[in-house]
Amino acid sequence: MTRYSRITGTGSFLPPDLVSNADLVERLAKQGVETSDEWIAGRTGIRVRHFAEPDVCSSDLGLQAAQRALQAAGLSPQDIDLIIVATSTPDMVFPSTACILQNKLGANGCPAFDVQAVCSGFIYALTVADAMIKTGAASRALVIGAEVFSRLLDFKDRTTCVLFGDGAGAVVLEASDTPGILASDLHADGQHVGILCVPGHVSGGLVTGEPMLRMDGQAVFRLAVGVLEETARAVLAKAGKTAADIDWLIPHQANLRIMHGTAKRLKISMEKMIVTVDQHGNTSAASIPLALDFAVRSGKVQKGQTLMLEGVGGGFTWGSVLLTY
């Protein structure tokens, strides 16, 4: 019998500190940086984002999302035999955020590790979990995207600090005898490391380099729209499907212009695209599971529908997953 994996539960969590564009404009003005709600929303589609409190880590946000996903799946932490956390903002250098979250969750004993592919991280993590379930290495996996990107922002750079927020999303992926994840497609091109990065590291007890996010926005935009179209077509071909078969496109919530550009190239109606970037900004690895959970809990996504998840991020990394929900 062929072994597949299916999503059986979704969950998400956003920190309570909601920061509107107006709030951010006021904060930046105190540092001599000029911007406006119209400038931010017009270029990105973002209206608000959430920032975590100083003592809150990625594992804390991920824990809340994981618990909600487990509840949705009707499972307990002890039922889980694999935990993968996608994050670019780990709690510490080591151990992994997944191990820290595992202990907080009370699911000790199963394999737990992080995946670092920035905004494509959840796609990478979901693909790894799917492969492990299909081979019998796991049966019930928690796949989590969690970020506290506010810690990496330079609030003197209006081109980047207005884009990002904090949050977490999670799914439970279980073994099944009916197809769930139909195909996946992953890529990376290290030639483009410099266009989106945080070029700092810890050495001798000090942070060296630049420990803040740096981005060439125009270069990212040009690359993103092209590779997102390519990976979407590739994953459809692998599954023997066409764009017409997609019920919902759930892209990485980075920038509304990139999202619209991708949908247009695939000739997918904007009404079939899940959009949450206006409510939480770019939450990197958390954005796709956040958007998926919103779509499920709002009743938009229904059982049996075909979903395309896709993301692109620093590295440069990109990829997609096609699944039957």
306 SS3 class: strand
- Active-site option among 50, 57, 161, 252: 252
Q: CA-CA distance, 45 to 111, in Å (whole number)?
A: 38
119 is catalytic: yes
- Ranges of beta strands (E only) in 149-295 are 166-176, 181-188, 196-197, 200-203, 206-209, 214-215, 248-251
Q: Is 282 a catalytic residue?
A: yes
CB atoms within 10 A of CB 206: 7
Answer positive or negative: Cα dihedral of 57, 58, 59, 60: positive
- β-bridge partners, 49: 19
**Facing residues of 19 across strands?**
49
Is there a contact between 171 and 143 (Cβ–Cβ < 8 Å)?
yes
The tokens for 209 are 């380099």
Among the listed residues 21, 57, 99, 119, the single catalytic one is: 119
Q: Where are the alpha helices (DSSP H) in 121-211?
A: 121-134, 158-161
**Residue recorded with tokens 């009707």:** 74
- Read off the tokens for 273: 């695209």
* Residues annotated as part of the active site: 119, 252, 282
